[in-house]
Structures are given as structure tokens and as C-alpha cells.
A and B are shown apart, each in its own frame.
Chain A
Amino acid sequence: MVNWTTEEKHAISTIWAKVDVDKLGAHTLSRLLVVYPWTQRYFSNFGNLSSPIAIDGNPRVRAHGKKVLTSFGEAVKNLDNVKAIFDKLSHLHSEKLHVDPQNFRLLGDNLIIELAASLGKDFTPEAQAAWQKLVGVVASALSKQYH
């Protein structure tokens, strides 16, 4: 069970209320694939990933980014039950997708950078700290079913 302070819960939900899930999801995944190109190994069937412009405009990247961030939204709405929420997804990422959990941490860090870029001064150091904790909890929950 993760212990969230009132301030952390408040920071997380306040920031989330300002988020455009479609845009943030697309930008986060796109940024991940450009900044850490080896992550493209999991998306070989996504079509054209040959340049930052191609990645940014790729409809499958956008759709998948939205999917990933929508999942994150579930965690935000259920902070006291994150592990249970990601149980099936963890199993999927381990058994079927074979994704190295390190990628969950890279994605989390990129999400935070995107939040800083889109929210500016609203993304205070305190808000960042709450979100760092959240991305860590999500990464850990997604790694739980690996064996």
C-alpha cells in the first residue's frame, strides 16, 4: 500500500485536471522514441519511425500514446489501488510484449518533462515530487508480475 499525503493527492489531481490526455500521450511517446531510439524496438510494426518528424506525425504512435496515458489516468483516479489496476497490464507487458521494465521508468521521466513543458509554472517542484512518486509507483506496479 502506498502512502500518499493529502498534498501529494492534491498535486496529482490538480495537475491531471489540466492535462489534455490525447496530446500529452502522443507527445510523451513520441519524445520517448526520439530521445531513446532503442525503445523503438517494441514498435517495429508501427510503420514510419525514421525521423523525429515521422514519429511525431505517426498515427499509430499518437493512438498508442493516448492509450498509455489513459491507463495512467486510471492510476490517478485510484491512487490507493494502483497495483491491482495494473495487474493484467503487468502480465501482458511481461508475458506477451516482453518489455524491459526499465522502459517504464524512461516513459515516466519523459511524461514529467512533457508536463513541465506544457504546464510551465504550474509544474512546481512540489508537484514534480508528487508526480515522480506516481510514475515510480506505476512503473513498480507494471513490473510486479514479471518473473
Chain B
Amino acid sequence: MAHITINQYLQQVCEAIDNHEGSFCAELLSFKHPHVANPRLQLASPEEKCQQVLEVPYDEMVAAHLRCTYAVSNHDFVEAYKCQTLVVQSFLRAFQSHKEENWALPVMFAVTLDLRIFANNAEQQLLRKGKGKLGDMLEKAAEQLMGCFRVCASDNRAGIDDSKKWGMLFLINQLFKIYFKINKLHLCKPLIRAIDSSNLKDDYSMAQRVTYKYYVGRKAMFDSDYKPAEEYLSFSFQHCHRSSQRNKRMILIYLLPVKMLLGHMPNHQLLRKYDLMQFADVTKAVSEGNLLLLNEALAKHETFFIRCGIFLILEKLKIITYRNLFKKVYQLLKTHQLPLDAFLVALKMMQVEEVDIYEVQCILANLICEGHIKGYISHQHQKLVVSKAHPFPLLSSSS
């Protein structure tokens, strides 16, 4: 298979199309398939041969694909991206003409996936040359994907067996990946709405649903909707295939901060299992209310956290840490009227810079405002008056 001739290849494609063998056809057009490494297929100008064998939209699609393999073999990802764009465009023409059938969905998955990957690679290649602008290529790729998405979403026929809507979630996931990469999360909203209103949302393949929940959960996390975020990410983590350890780790990277913000601390074994020991100190610091340790931990792994995009989330753990720290003060003082100076001492012990009584009041005000502490501050007496019952309610119950 890997060393078939161009004619054999074209014949296979032709038969796959004729027989509506979507999966096989998808393989023949996918860069996950070994044929792309076949030098006999890496042609600079395969147009003529393709034209001789294949029908109109397909000849261009396959020709572009073959030229794409040629470009990839030359490590020219910009050219590869252009070719792949043609592949998607010509596929879309064929796809649109498919009435009452969706056998080509696997092909769409293959070509759109490669399009996104090549857009990414092309952008990196351009940026290394100092050309282009971050996100341009991916945005253009997203436009192509949206074209496919519209075709799928507009299939409003009653029958769902051969509905193109089965392709929506895959495309949405690809779009999510792009939007997250270029920080255009607001563009995700209509996509989420489309799935929420879909009667198929629970019937897509688990792999796609896991991916979808992962991104929706991340988006909720960035929107500070921690409860839904925990729900989505937990679903994703629990249903992610056990062999996809890397994916599970990625899910955990976002699920852990959310869980911690909600008061659920991960145990050491979990962190070790997924090689996420960067969270170990953070977890320890938060649970102990050790602000100093938390700052150190965050500073120590700042690069990692920033690259994961969770630094700002972890930063909010400081609030939880304040709460835990102040709870200790409360437990030490064993009174419901806590002098603010006591908190100032605690904060200074944690080596918080330039801290003063105003800042203590400010921190307390936030904790009270967010429900982490039940009580009030008497400005006149400079005391924190806490509730006699559950002055520090459980994090998971606070809103």
C-alpha cells in the first residue's frame, strides 16, 4: 500500500468514491495514512493523471492532495496548507452535491483535520521567517471549516441516519482548537449553541463528545463558570479512553485548578500518575493556607502554568489560600470577633509585600463578598465579626 503506483492509487480512490467507501477514501486522503510517504505519489503536478481518472470535483481534490504530499515531503507547509485548502474546497463542492447521503463524512474529517494541522505548521513556518501574523493562517483555516460546518448544519432532513449533521461535532471540535489557539473564545459561543440545540448531542461518538466537553469546560473555566467547567471537564476525564493518557493529562491540567477552586484537592497519587507534580506544592499550599508556599510554587512553575494557560486561574487560588489562612487565625483565636491586626500579622508572616490594614480589610471584604466567610467588618472597631455557625463554609458549597 505504501508503494503503490499513482495509477493504482487513483484507481483505489476512484473505486472508493464510486462505492461510497467513506472510510477507505478518507484513508487515501489522510496524512495519517502511510501512502503520503510514498515517493511515487509525491507529484509536483498530478493534475493530468487525476483528471484522467476522476470526476470533476474529485480530480482536483486528489490532485491537490498529491501535490500536498509533495509539498510536505519538501517541508513546505505553506504550500501544503494551500494545497490542503484546495482539497477541502473541492471536497466541499462534492460534499454539497451529495444529497441524502453522508458517506463522505470520514473524508471530511480527514481533510479538515489535515487542514488545521497544516495551517498550524504553515503559520509556524511563516513566523520563523518573520512573515505573516499570528493566527492568520488558522483563521483562514477556520473559515474553511466553517464552510463545511454550514453544509453539515444546514442538512435539515428528518432522517438522521444519513444526515450530515453527524459531522457537526467533529468540525466544532476542530474549530475549538483553532479558536482556543488564537484566543477567539467568543467565536465558540454560536457553536456551543448549535450543539446545545441539537438532538444528536448525546449520540455523537464518545471521542468527539469527550473532546467537545473538554473545550467547553475550558471555556467555562476562563469565563469563571467553575461549576459548569467542573462538570464538563469531569465528564471528559471520566469518559476519555483509558489508553489516551496524554489526553487525560491535558484534561487534568484544567480540571485540577477548577476542582481546587471548588475545594477539591487532588491527592498525590493522581498527580504522580499523570506527571503533574507541578501542582503538588500548589495543592499543599492552598490546603494549608500557606500563601508563601503558594507564591513560591507559582513562581517556580510559572512558565509551565502560563503555557498551559492556567496561571491566571491558579492565581485565584490565592483567594482560597487567604480563606484557609484566615480560618486558621480564627481557629487559633477561637472567637467570633477577630481583630484585623491578627490577619495583618498572618499576612506579614506570609511575607506579603507592603501589606497594611486597608489591604486586610480589602481581602476580607472579597472573602465575605464571595461567601467564603460569613460575617462582617466593623470599621469602627476594626474587627471581623464572624458567624457563630459555619463562619467558613465549605468551598464546595459557597458560590
A binds B: no
Contacts from B to A (Cβ < 8 Å): none
